[in-house]
Amino acid sequence: MAAPCAALVAPIAADYDAWESWVTGTLLRAYADCAAKHDAIVAAWPK
């Protein structure tokens, strides 16, 4: 949970499919991970 967020890797300039795969598989995956991490940190924060 305390681990830093993974650095994004830029997509290769292949084609539209490669870009969509990068957006869904890397970018939004990283966003979901970050949102879950944020949620967990807020939950762990002393009230």
Tell me which residue has tokens 């879950």: 36
The tokens for 37 are 């991490």
Please report, as residue ranges, which positions from 16 to 45 form the binding site for another protein (by CB under 8 A). 16-17, 19-21, 24-25, 28-29, 32-33, 36-37, 39-41, 43-44
The tokens for 1 are 């949970």
Report the 10 Å Cβ neighbour count for 21. Answer: 13
Nearest approach, Cβ of residue 11 and another protein (Å): 7
Nearest approach, Cβ of residue 23 and another protein (Å): 10
How far apart CA 36 and CA 1 sit, in angstroms, is: 9
Q: What residues line the site for another protein (CB under 8 A)?
A: 1, 4-5, 7-11, 13-17, 19-21, 24-25, 28-29, 32-33, 36-37, 39-41, 43-44, 46
